Amino acid sequence: MSTHIDELDPIEPREALELFMDKRRSNNRAPSTLTSNRSHLRIFIQWLEGQGLTNLNELTGRDVFQYRQKREHEDGLAPASLKGQISTIRMFLQFCEEIEALPQDFHRKVDPVKLNVGEEISDVAIDIEEAEAILDHLQRFEYASQRHVTFALLWHTDMRTGALHSLDIDDIRWDDRALRLRHRPDTGTTLKNKERSERMVAVGSDTLQIVEDWLAHNRPDTTDEYGREPLIASQQGRAHKSTIRQVIYNVTRPCYYQNECPHGREPTEEGCEAIPYHSAGKCPTSVAPHAIRKGSLTRDLANDLPIETLSERADVTPRVLRQHYDTRTEKTKMEQRRDVLGLD
């Protein structure tokens, strides 16, 4: 049965958002999922308010279509990112039907984003030259800082943000020059594939020296709420995953490590919205931690590291490596095969 607009209960978009988040929390959704949901919907609702919509009853399919077009074409979201955002909006709209803020089946007006092969993971990967330039800058001006050790470990170990977040000082195997990764949900840290992600990761001597100097000189003397000593620590304890993301957004802004802006912006808060620390992700050129992982895996593939070896090191299947992380050109692959075959 359809619902007429006169039968709906008026509600402001922000109030509907809070009710939706309350329901998600009551359903025991993971904190990271809740954060992602709120982020996606906050942008949507701010856009609605900018269009003058103050009563969700008045939302139309055209409104949602225009927002989708904006995010895809004006904002340039990658297909995988757009899929996640539209999926969240559809869930929100379906919830709004339940609380009689929208007509029944309204969410069906929003078509899910369909991905082509190769679009399931963002195609953004940091260039090797950019990563090395950032490391050079950190080595010179912020040696053994939280930023330095965070970027160096992500770039030189191929690990995910969650794996870095999970590390304790005791997980460093100095004699083996390695890091031990363990899934410990009972004490606040998890790995993507749970126990299957547990492994030892070899670390180069130069990177290990950065870690050693971080511990000796700059790491806050702190423990987390479980009494563990996190490797990536802040004054409050274990650095949050969001802190790690913010570090990467900040150090990958060209104005940070090159002292220039390719977008012609002034490096001031008045001249660029991405200058404030927590707004660094708004820089068109800054990247998220996944781009570091993708760039480092591409580097390893380009350096002829066997896919089976890299699969175990990075905790990713060979199929996914080939499909989503291998950004080498066909010519590069051909030249590598030439070297292996010993052809002149």
Distances (CA, A) of 259 to 159, 249, 254: 28, 15, 7
Least confident of 23-27, 99-103, 337-341: 337-341
User: What integer is the mean pLDDT of 232-247?
Assistant: 95
- Any long-range contacts for 22-28 (C-beta under 8 Å, 24+ apart)? 23/95
Reply yes or no on whether the pLDDT at 206 is more than 80: yes
Q: What percent of the chain has pLDDT over 70?
A: 92
CA diameter of the chain: 79
253 Cβ partners below 8 Å, 6+ apart? 274, 280, 283, 285, 286
Q: What is the pLDDT of residue 302?
A: 78
Reply yes or no on whether the pLDDT at 20 is more than 70: yes
Quote the DSSP letter at residue 170.
G
pLDDT tens-digit readout, 256-297:
988 888 777 888 888 898 899 888 888 888 888 988 998 899
Output 112 or 169, whichever has higher pLDDT: 169
Q: What is the pLDDT of residue 96?
A: 95
pTM, to two decimals: 0.65
Calpha distance 66→191 (Å, rounded): 38
Q: End-to-end distance of the chain based on CA atoms, in angstroms?
A: 74
Specify whether the CB–CB gap between 9 and 99 falls below 8 A.
yes
Average pLDDT over the chain reads 88
Q: What is the pLDDT of residue 118?
A: 45
Least confident of 99-108, 148-157, 200-209, 292-301: 292-301
Specify whether the CB–CB gap between 49 and 41 falls below 8 A.
no
Reply yes or no on whether the pLDDT at 221 is more than 70: yes
pLDDT tens-digit readout, 128-160:
888 999 999 999 999 999 999 999 999 999 999
Spatial CA neighbour of 143 closest among 95, 207, 49, 52 = 207
Q: What are phi and psi of 206, to 5 degrees?
A: -65, -45
Specify whether the CB–CB gap between 92 and 17 falls below 8 A.
yes
Calpha distance 138→257 (Å, rounded): 8
User: What integer is the mean pLDDT of 82-109?
Assistant: 91
